[in-house]
């Protein structure tokens, strides 16, 4: 890890004062703070090298193309993929939409086959499948994550020889439960070897090192802005064999081979899926963010998250006015969802901010089916990342006590 004063230098927002208090940023599952070096890399690209990519032959165009493609290589190395298996998107949401539509229009799901999702998914890994199901008359099966806790053994009963696609999050963005993806892959492939396994990595990738080859998943979606990168850039990883079979979802410039009045043929991977001028600035920023994560070390990040989550759970369990959701064991990572008895999460979040400078999330976390499983309308959520320290949690606890005193 970097030492804490280094983090203050790297993340200027950490020096902000909120109502006279030091900012305690605990909303990392929504988005992470920006490191200076990432924004400097974006700025350097924008001001000195920017041109359209893959098109012209002048110097700037060549530099821009090289920077874009070396960002792609960086992302490929990060998850042990091939370069042509990395499609840049604007984030997890676009990645999953692209994938859902493309699988459907490419007839990769035959009549009678099913798509399996769960009720703990973020809306972006729920609504696209649900809507694809309606539009293309494909059966969607929903695994109920009862009481908000994912039970692998129950889940395996939902996988059958009819299951063509499985899409599941790597970490619940509500409870922080870490889902045993390797186990799911192993079991699912035994039931049906060619089942397409998709992981929503929006919460997982920022916290765990992933090797898509040894994990043997088919697709992986994630967002740059949850892993120290800029907004508007994300990734869809797909196994080359699948991507080659699939039809593009967006049509336009830069993705064609030959265009005539009658028809168009499409270019090679990954460009076939990247119609239009891409977000080069974002890709440069994301590559820089990945570099920083690698410098800190994904294993260190993982250990640090674990330590903070354990510490937070211990302290929060002592507050009898809190109801805490999720497994509350070693399989919970970097996220704690809770409610203050009888108090609406918005009130808790607003007061924590103003009394103690603590930034937390309140609401349904874009996961209404999961809220139903938990039997609540909304929760408060704290989430940690590399720059958080134990004393951030101490301030959270102090703030929670104050809020309870005020509103109880």
Q: Which does 315 bind (CB under 5 to 8 A by kind): ligand PLP, another protein, none?
A: none
Q: What angle do CA 357, 351, 323 make, to 5 degrees?
A: 105
Q: Does 363 bind another protein (CB under 8 A)?
A: yes
Q: Does 362 bind another protein (CB under 8 A)?
A: yes
Position of tokens 């998943």? Answer: 217
Q: Which does 144 bind (CB under 5 to 8 A by kind): another protein, ligand PLP, none?
A: none
Q: Which does 122 bind (CB under 5 to 8 A by kind): another protein, ligand PLP, none?
A: ligand PLP
**What span, in angstroms and rounded, lies between the C-alpha atoms of 288 and 290?**
5
Return the number of the residue (122 or 304) whose C-beta is nearest ligand PLP.
122
Q: Which does 407 bind (CB under 5 to 8 A by kind): ligand PLP, another protein, none?
A: another protein
Give least dist CB 174 to ligand PLP, A.
9
**What span, in angstroms and rounded, lies between the C-alpha atoms of 3 and 397?**
23
* Helices 280-296/36-44 angle, 10° precision: 150
Choice from 124, 167, 339, 383 touching ligand PLP (CB under 6 A)? 124
DSSP string, 194-239: T-EEEEE-TTTTTTS---HHHHT-SEEEEEGGGTTS-TT-EEEEE-
Distances (CA, A) of 259 to 7, 117, 256, 267: 51, 38, 7, 11
Q: Does the annotation count 380 as an active-site position?
A: no
**What span, in angstroms and rounded, lies between the C-alpha atoms of 218 and 168?**
12
**What span, in angstroms and rounded, lies between the C-alpha atoms of 110 and 359?**
47
**What span, in angstroms and rounded, lies between the C-alpha atoms of 322 and 382?**
13
Span 16-75, contacts to another protein by CB under 8 A: 19
- Judged by CB under 6 A, how many residues of this single chain contact ligand PLP? 13
Return the number of the residue (163 or 175) whose C-beta is nearest ligand PLP.
175
Choice from 76, 103, 184, 351 touching another protein (CB under 8 A)? 351
Choice from 39, 106, 350, 389 touching another protein (CB under 8 A)? 350
Token pair for 300 = 């260190």
- Choose the stretch contacting another protein; rule: CB under 8 A; options: 9-17, 102-110, 192-200, 341-349: 341-349
Return the number of the residue (355 or 366) whose C-beta is nearest ligand PLP.
366
**What span, in angstroms and rounded, lies between the C-alpha atoms of 285 and 275?**
20
DSSP string, 104-120: HHTT-S-TT-EEEEETT
Q: Does 167 bind ligand PLP (CB under 6 A)?
A: no
Q: Does 346 bind another protein (CB under 8 A)?
A: yes
Give least dist CB 343 to another protein, A.
8
Side-chain half-sphere of 343: how many Cα atoms within 13 Å? 24
Q: Which does 202 bind (CB under 5 to 8 A by kind): ligand PLP, another protein, none?
A: ligand PLP
Closest CA to 234 of 220, 245, 244: 220
Span 72-111, contacts to ligand PLP by CB under 6 A: 91-93
Omega into 195 within 30° of 0, i.e. cis?
A: no
Q: Does 279 bind ligand PLP (CB under 6 A)?
A: no
- Sign of the C-alpha dihedral, residues 78, 81, 87, 90? negative
Span 221-240, contacts to another protein by CB under 8 A: none
- With b for 16 or more beta-carbon neighbours within 10 A and e for fewer, the 271-304 pattern comes to bbbbbeebbbbbbbbbbbbbbbbeebebeebeeb
Among the listed residues 127, 324, 366, 376, the single catalytic one is 366
Choice from 28, 163, 223, 332 touching ligand PLP (CB under 6 A)? 223
Q: Which does 377 bind (CB under 5 to 8 A by kind): ligand PLP, another protein, none?
A: another protein
Return the number of the residue (64 or 236) whose C-beta is nearest ligand PLP.
236
Choice from 22, 52, 344, 398 touching another protein (CB under 8 A)? 344
Write out the H or E segment, with its range, that includes residue 17.
Answer: strand 17-18
- Choose the stretch contacting another protein; rule: CB under 8 A; options: 159-167, 175-183, 251-259, 349-357: 349-357
C-beta separation of 197 from 219 below 8 A: yes
Choice from 187, 364, 372, 398 touching another protein (CB under 8 A)? 364
- Choose the stretch contacting another protein; rule: CB under 8 A; options: 23-31, 109-117, 284-292, 350-358: 350-358
State the pairing for strand pair 358-359/24-25. Answer: parallel
Q: Does 339 bind ligand PLP (CB under 6 A)?
A: no
Which residues are marked as active site? 366
State the residues that interact with another protein by CB under 8 A: 19, 343-347, 350-351, 354-355, 362-364, 368, 371, 377-378, 406-407
């Amino acid at each position: 890890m970097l030492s804490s004063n280094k983090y203050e230098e790297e993340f200027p927002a950490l020096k902000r004062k909120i109502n006279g208090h030091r900012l305690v940023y605990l909303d990392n599952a929504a988005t992470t703070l920006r490191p200076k070096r990432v924004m400097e890399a974006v700025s350097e690209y924008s001001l000195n090298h920017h041109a359209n990519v893959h098109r012209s032959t002048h110097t700037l165009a060549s530099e821009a193309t090289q920077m874009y493609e070396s960002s792609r290589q960086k992302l490929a190395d990060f998850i042990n993929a091939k370069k042509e298996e990395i499609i840049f998107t604007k984030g997890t949401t676009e990645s999953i939409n692209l994938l859902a539509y493309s699988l459907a229009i490419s007839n990769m799901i035959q009549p009678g086959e099913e798509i399996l999702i769960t009720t703990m998914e973020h809306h972006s890994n729920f609504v696209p499948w649900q809507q694809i199901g309606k539009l293309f008359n494909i059966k969607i099966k929903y695994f109920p994550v009862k009481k908000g806790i994912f039970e692998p053994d129950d889940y395996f009963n939902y996988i059958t020889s009819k299951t063509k696609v499985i899409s599941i999050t790597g970490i619940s963005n509500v409870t922080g439960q870490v889902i045993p993806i390797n186990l799911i892959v192993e079991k699912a492939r035994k039931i049906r070897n060619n089942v397409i396994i998709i992981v929503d990595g929006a919460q997982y990738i920022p916290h765990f090192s992933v090797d898509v080859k040894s994990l043997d998943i088919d697709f992986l979606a994630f967002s740059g802005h949850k892993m120290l990168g800029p907004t508007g850039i994300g990734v869809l990883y797909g196994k080359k064999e699948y991507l080659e079979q699939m039809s593009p979802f967006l049509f336009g410039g830069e993705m064609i081979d030959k265009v005539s009045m009658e028809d168009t043929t499409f270019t090679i991977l990954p460009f076939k899926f990247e119609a239009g001028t891409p977000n080069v600035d974002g890709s440069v920023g994301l590559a820089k963010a990945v570099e920083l994560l690698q410098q800190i070390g994904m294993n260190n990040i993982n250990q640090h998250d674990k330590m903070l989550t354990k510490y937070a759970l211990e302290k929060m369990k002592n507050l009898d006015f809190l109801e805490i959701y999720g497994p509350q064991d070693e399989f919970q990572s970097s996220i704690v969802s809770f409610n203050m008895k009888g108090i609406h999460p918005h009130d808790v979040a607003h007061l924590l901010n103003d009394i103690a400078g603590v930034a937390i999330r309140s609401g349904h976390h874009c996961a209404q089916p999961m809220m139903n499983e938990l039997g609540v309308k909304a929760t408060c959520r704290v989430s940690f990342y590399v720059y958080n320290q134990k004393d951030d949690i101490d301030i959270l606890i102090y703030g929670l006590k104050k809020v309870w005193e005020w509103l109880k």
